[in-house]
Structure 1
Amino acid sequence: MKRRRLALTLRQLRERAGMSAAEAARAVEHDTSWLSRIETSEVRPHPNDVRALLALYGVTGSQAEAVVAVARQAKQRGWWQQYNDVLPDWFVTYLGMESEASVIRSYECQMIPGLLQTEGYARAAIEGVPVPIRATEIERQVALRIDRQTILAADDHPTLRVVLDEGAVRRLVGGVEVMRGQIDRLVQESTRARIQIQLLPFAAGTGFDGSFVMLDFPPLPDPYPDPAEARLVYVDTLAGALYLEEPAQVSAYSAAFEQLAAVALGPRDTRDRLRLIARELV
């Protein structure tokens, strides 16, 4: 997320300075495409280049040093980069953001969210994707999915709110025993602090055609000139991902999530229903 936050900050600071991307790039002896790739977070800028851009935009002193510090952090390798051999580029971006989020809101209409999957469920889900995966990659994908969950093990783990469609729990991924173990995991996790799981039952008569995740980020410490939005929406697709950051887009998904949560079962009723579903598995 630091790379994405940095990119958005540099773009907004340039716009505040009243400069076009072409003008700014020429002023620091680069071409427009170079700056465009930085502002869309396609490349990590060198801290010296960031310092030159900030000086051009009139940002100096402690604010400039705060931005340069974030630029240095953005160049550091994340834990997930050990899985680069099985990670598509678009998901690398998401993992970086997920690891820095303070609140994660997830609506799932098909599958159990990756942060809550058991190893058995994760393996069965990966094996069952419509795009074939080589057998040698499956265990690496499973290990990656389990490693992601370490963010929930920390004392200061993010708040996690999940609205889970009943169809995702009823879908028999990996067989009866795998699903019983997975449902038991959901029940256990839902009793932890700052983790809320709500089941959206079939009887609610409503739903949303498409899973999505909303990520909230803590503000960067002063004196960072942080004009970036503190929330974005992530939508996974078969061949990539969408990152929605425009206020109208974020507002629409925020309202949708809260409406779904309002008609879903509360946490205690959710645990009761999950236990019932587990008993019904044969």
Structure 2
Amino acid sequence: MAPRQSPTVKRRRLALTLRQLRERAGLSAAEAARAVEHDTSWLSRIETAEVRPHPNDVRALLALYGVDESQAEAVVAVARQARQRGWWQQYSNVLPDWFVTYLGMESEASAIRSYQCQTVPGLLQTEGYARAAIRGAPVPVPEEEIERQVALRIERQAVLAAEDHPTLRVILDEGAVRRLVGGPQVMREQLDRLVRESSRPRIRIQLLPFSAGTGFDGSFVMLDFPPLPEPYPDPAESRLVYVDTLAGALYLEGPTQVSAYSAAFEQLAAAALATRQTRDRLREMARDLAG
């Protein structure tokens, strides 16, 4: 399966690139917008990734900024890709806006690092577990939307079916796999799935046992993105942190924020069981549930 491209990531990178190129050209947003016959708010929305600019407008801005032809064509190509529809659009009626952004980023990440202290991450959930987790969520989901939500969660997992799928590192607090989501049978199937997935190339799952005596009081995900091919003039962000909340999400991109979460992840990984020990413990839990 070919990897699915993400207009979300392209739009964010395009926004940052256009802002940086304008600043290098020594132009204010107002000056640049007037020069291409638009108002300042138009350019501001482009540079904050709120709107998708037309490729012709992007070409005009690049000419104004003095970008050479080969680089300009590379940026315009990304602008075209940023206007495409994401695979998740068919689920737009059951998707909150803040999660649409995350799906776009997850789809094109080159590496995903996830710490989960309450539930198994969506990329590794079985259908039965996903259904039970959605039905039991603290924010009620209308019954008629549950199956659509389940289908979306399973389709997300296609990112791991691609030949060149992202590196996935997951640290699961023991509480996340002890909690009987959906009952013993559903949970046993989920544990078996985790054992199988942890044996795949570029997927590493570690269990943080209660005995470790440490933990972190909130789940988070770190996403790394591959660089755009040359000659794209792209010093854009390569990593961000996603933190899910009850009413939305936080996207943390500042170097200090990213560094803090990266250090926390590595500390948790050092305290967690090794991959083989994790598989042994998960198998033991599955046997206990079967009994």
Is 1:76 paired with 2:84?
A: yes
Is 1:123 paired with 2:131?
A: yes
Give the corresponding residue for 1:277: 285
Output the amino acid matched with 2:75: V
Give the secondary-structure state (helix, strand or coil) at the position aligned to 2:112. strand
User: Structure 1 CA distance, aligned partners of 2:255 and 2:220?
Assistant: 16
Output the amino acid matched with 1:217: F
Give the corresponding residue for 1:162: 170
State which of 96, 99, 106 in structure 2 corresponds to 1:91. Answer: 99
Give the corresponding residue for 2:53: 45
Give the corresponding residue for 1:231: 239
User: Structure 2 CA distance, aligned partners of 1:93 and 1:58?
Assistant: 31
**TM-superposed deviation, 1:126:** 0.6
Output the amino acid matched with 1:131: V
Give the corresponding residue for 1:208: 216
Output the amino acid matched with 2:114: S
User: Structure 2 CA distance, aligned partners of 1:49 and 1:208?
Assistant: 46
Output the amino acid matched with 1:266: A
User: Structure 1 CA distance, aligned partners of 2:31 and 2:137?
Assistant: 46
User: Structure 1 CA distance, aligned partners of 2:223 and 2:35?
Assistant: 35
Gaps of 5+ in 2: 1-8
**TM-superposed deviation, 1:28:** 1.8
Alpha carbons 1:163, 1:260 under 8 Å: kept: yes
Give the secondary-structure state (helix, strand or coil) at the position aligned to 1:250. helix
Matches within 5 A, 1:99-114: 99-114=107-122
State which of 147, 156, 161 in structure 2 corresponds to 1:148. Answer: 156
Output the amino acid matched with 1:225: P
Is 1:190 paired with 2:211?
A: no
Runs of 4+ in 1 over 3 A off after TM superposition: none
User: Structure 2 CA distance, aligned partners of 1:241 and 1:58?
Assistant: 37
Output the amino acid matched with 2:137: V
State which of 172, 185, 201 in structure 2 corresponds to 1:177. Answer: 185
Output the amino acid matched with 1:119: E
Alpha carbons 1:12, 1:227 under 8 Å: kept: no
RMSD value over aligned CA atoms? 1.1
| 1:84-131 superposed Cα distances (whole Å, 9 cap, x missing partner) | 111111111111111111111111111100000000000011111111
**TM-superposed deviation, 1:235:** 1.1
**TM-superposed deviation, 1:175:** 0.6
Output the amino acid matched with 2:13: R
User: Structure 1 CA distance, aligned partners of 2:82 and 2:177?
Assistant: 37
State which of 143, 146, 153 in structure 2 corresponds to 1:138. Answer: 146
Output the amino acid matched with 2:107: S
State which of 6, 12, 21 in structure 1 corresponds to 2:29. Answer: 21
User: Structure 1 CA distance, aligned partners of 2:96 and 2:257?
Assistant: 25
**TM-superposed deviation, 1:57:** 1.7
Give the secondary-structure state (helix, strand or coil) at the position aligned to 1:206. coil
State which of 203, 222, 228 in structure 2 corresponds to 1:220. Answer: 228
| 1:220-275 superposed Cα distances (whole Å, 9 cap, x missing partner) | 00000001021111111122111111111111111111111111101000001111
User: Structure 2 CA distance, aligned partners of 1:275 and 1:179?
Assistant: 12
Give the corresponding residue for 1:61: 69
Gaps of 5+ in 1: none
| 1:36-80 superposed Cα distances (whole Å, 9 cap, x missing partner) | 211121111111111111122221301010000001001111111
Which segment drifts farther, 9-18 or 128-137?
9-18
**TM-superposed deviation, 1:21:** 2.0
Output the amino acid matched with 1:54: L
Give the corresponding residue for 1:254: 262
User: Structure 1 CA distance, aligned partners of 2:52 and 2:36?
Assistant: 16
Give the percent of matched residue pairs that are identical in Structure 1 and Structure 2.
84
**TM-superposed deviation, 1:22:** 2.3
Q: With structure 2 as the length reference, what TM-score do the two structures score? A: 0.94
Give the secondary-structure state (helix, strand or coil) at the position aligned to 2:93. coil
User: Structure 2 CA distance, aligned partners of 1:20 and 1:109?
Assistant: 45
**TM-superposed deviation, 1:24:** 1.9
Q: With structure 1 as the length reference, what TM-score do the two structures score? A: 0.97
